[in-house]
Structure 1
Amino acid sequence: MPSAVPPIPGLRRYTRWDEIPDGLYTKTQLGSQGLKPGGEPVAQALYHGNCYAPLYLIGEAVAKRACTSAQRAALDRARALQYVCRRCGHQDHEPLGRGRWCDRCSVAAALFDLHDQAQQRARELVADPAAALLVVDVDPDALPTAQAVAVIGVRGRDVLYTAPAGEYGTPERSAVIDRLDALFADRCVVEEPDFTGPLSRFPDRLICQPNQSFQPGPDPVHPWAAPHSKVRPSVARIWAPWFGWTDRPSSTIPSIPSAWGDDVPLAWSRSLDLVADGRSMVDLLHRIADGSEPVWERAAWMVDGYGEPDLSWDRRRNGLGAAA
């Protein structure tokens, strides 16, 4: 119920129900008699302290059109379906709402929606000639010769730049940073890790002192090095929802396993050869884009046997809501 219904200008107001003369009824009162208003309201009554209900003349009221037997049957079926999951057929004791998902299928639908969005993001990157993958490895405990950077074009899989990263504060490191500034001035940056790391693979490690923490947020001087940017895509953030692994059955947040094992292997190479690692990640994006990359065999939408959730109705509803 709204917090307030303002009065209609120009109509007489009744602030007490016992003041209303005979022959004036609200729409609800007419409906209880099988009638509906046949004309414009002639007065209004105050209720709930700050709401006004229009009053209509009963002499102008007309009979409400009754439902046919077919319409009544259709309404009964629609009410009954409110308790039935539209994916698995489970019947709940309470209405399931507009989405009509049971608890289990709502988890599967949410994860599959993210899975589908990951494929759409991969397709956008694969089709974008300006998208480039930045691979960084600047482990402070590694030898300087093992620290390097590589830039791979996502669409053509070509090597755009590769060089030793050098040590922090050296002319070699400064030259690498200047080259990346120029290279990513008009390109979409794709990085490897998500917030789980590893730390040495974050692009912002190139502009930080060893073992120094970096404050989150955009860097006005080096935008490509902004840490943990949700706007900038990463291979890990695309692969995780595509693969569909979760740490518990009821979770709707796909993630990367904290410890890689035989059942969930790393989907791309991670070695000292950054060019090979970069091409491995670009190949992964291409496989996700064309749908050939494997999905976790225990993903929520695969283990229950009901197939991929149909999200067309939900997306159409959300699109109408956004348009409104």
Structure 2
Amino acid sequence: MLVVGEAGAGGLLGHSEGLGDLRHRFLFSAGEEPGGGRADPGDDLLQFVGGGNCYAPLYPLDEAVPKRPVTPAQKAVLDRARELQYVCRRCGDRREYPLGRGRWCEPCSYAAALFAPHSTAQRFTRELVEDQTGNVLVVGAGPDEYAEPETVGVLRIHDQELLHAGPAGTYGTPERGAVLDRLDELLEGRRVVHETGMGPGSRFPARLVTLPGQLMSSERDSLHAWLRPYRESAEGAAYVSRLWRGWFAWTRDQWSTTASEPWDQEHGVRVAWDRTTDSAADVLGLAMVLDRIADGTEPVWEEARWIADGHGEPDLLERRRWRETVEA
């Protein structure tokens, strides 16, 4: 192998000609192409460029043949492909620059980025609804962030059977201990989903094992398996609020690619279910939301990006195929 330092194309060509061989691209630029096998691999070029290596196989010059011309049909296909690089494959808008292999313009990229978690939320929800071991655990509490738990409810999602509903008791009392024991018994080895992972904190199951007035800590999660919601991945079905947030697809501004829970100055955070001290009613409302997401009847924000732009749902399957092809 011939090793050379940093040099331009002319330097490489000079070394190549000295061996009677040419690099592939130099043959093409001369209207020829390799006509036989490669030269001796030991004569290949290895050039150091910008801190990295540039490997250049060589081909015998005396075996070069005239380059095959492009047929009219091939040229038409290539011209069409070059033209399509500037056209969004979803909305058809043309840009002044190539859109890349995905061929999404910026607005359609934002729409696709929001539609992906919307679609994923439905897939995860359907799996959750069909899972006969899936349960929703809800802590009923007042609206204050640091309100103490008042009731606890557990519902099996598959058939919406209420497995437990009752007072939460007071921290440190036998009543609270009995509730914790009951939850351990009901939820052992079962899939548990929480209402929310973003607040209000008064509705976190961890509040049941936290001393009043103190901050919640994950250090106590090992005390009870149901304190850790089931998750298959970072975006998995661990919280109903996360599934609904992805499905509803509300965003704070037109350039955001992350769905949030709807919020405004007057009403604060708004969700599709009630948050009261009656955990039995609240947990049933959550199960109904999951059912509607699974069958596609749960409302979606009327200004969701793929709805507002009028171009319909992005073709994520085509995007996924392209990504798999690139990764392969």
Shift in Å, 1:171: 1.1
Residue 24 of structure 1: which of 7, 21, 37 is its match?
A: 21
**Identity rate, percent:** 46
Equivalent position amino acid for 1:280 in 2: G
* Counterpart pick for 1:88 among 84, 87, 91: 91
Question: Quick check: 1:41 aligned with 2:44?
Answer: no
Shift in alpha-carbon separation, 1:143–1:202, aligned structure 2, 3 A: closer
Partner of 2:204: 202
Give the stretch that moved more between structures: 199-208 or 49-58: 49-58
Work out which of the residue numbers 189, 194, 209 in structure 2 matches 1:191. Answer: 194
Conserved 8 A contact 1:135-1:278: yes
Number of paired residues? Answer: 310
What is the DSSP-based 3-state SS (H/G/I as helix, E as strand, rest coil) of the residue aligned with 1:220? helix
Native 8 Å contact 1:218 1:226 kept in 2 = no
Amino acid at match of 1:224: W
Trace 1:175-254 onto structure 2 (pairs within 5 A).
Answer: 175-195=178-198, 197-216=199-218, 219-226=221-228, 230=234, 233-254=238-259
Give the structure-1-normalised TM-score: 0.86
The structure-2 alpha-carbon separation of the partners of 1:21 and 1:241, relative to structure 1 and needing over 3 Å to count, comes to: same
CA–CA distance in 2 between the matches of 1:190 and 1:225?
Answer: 10
Distance in structure 1 (CA, Å) of the matches to 2:300 and 2:207? 31
Cα 1:132–1:59, aligned 2, differ >3 Å: closer, same or farther? same
Aligned residues of 2:90 and 2:104 also touching (Cα < 8 A): yes
Shift of 1:307: 1.1
- Displacement of 1:54 in angstroms is 2.5
Paired with 1:27 and 1:288, the residues of 2 have a C-alpha distance of 56
Q: How far 1:285 sits from its partner (Å)?
A: 0.3
1:247 Cα deviation after fit:
0.9
Q: Which amino acid aligns with 1:249?
A: Q
For the aligned residues, what is the CA RMSD? Answer: 2.8
CA distance in 2, matches of 1:130, 1:85: 44
1:156 is matched with 159
| Residue identity matched to 1:248 | D
2:255 is the alignment partner of 1:258: no
Runs of 4+ with >6 A deviation: 140-144, 260-264
CA distance 1:27–1:143, shift in 2 (3 Å): closer
- Within the alignment, does 1:60 sit opposite 2:63 as a pair? yes
Counterpart in the other structure of 1:4: none
1:143, CA displacement in angstroms? 9.4
Counterpart residue identity of residue 44, structure 1? D
CA distance in 2 between partners of 1:199 and 1:143 (Å): 8
Structure 1 residues 59-138: aligned runs within 5 Å: 59-138=62-141
The 8 Å contact of residues 248 and 301 in structure 2, kept in 1 or not, is answered as: yes
| Shift in Å, 1:14 | 6.2
**Contact 1:157/1:279 (8 A) holds in 2:** yes
Where do 5+ consecutive residues of structure 1 fail to align?
1-6, 8-12
Distance of aligned partners of 1:234 and 1:299 in 2 relative to their CA distance in 1, 3 Å threshold: same
Q: CA deviation at 1:172?
A: 1.1
Q: Which SS does the other structure have where 1:306 is aligned?
A: coil
> Does 1:296 pair with 2:301?
yes
Distance 2:70 2:159 in 1: 63
Change over 3 Å in CA distance of 1:165–1:295 after alignment to 2:
same
* C-alpha contact (below 8 Å) 1:268/1:280 kept by paired residues: yes
Asked whether the equivalents of residues 32 and 65 of structure 2 are also in contact (C-alpha less than 8 Å), the reply is: yes
Stretches of structure 2 lacking an aligned partner (at least 5 in a row)? 5-10
The answer on whether the counterparts of 1:134 and 1:149 sit within 8 Å (CA) in structure 2 is yes
Structure 1 match to 2:8: none
State the one-letter code of the partner of 1:253.
T
- Aligned partner letter, 2:94: Q
Counterpart Cα distance in 1 of 2:131 and 2:46 = 62
8 Å CA contact 2:153, 2:165 repeated in 1: yes
CA contact (8 A) 1:204 1:227 kept: no
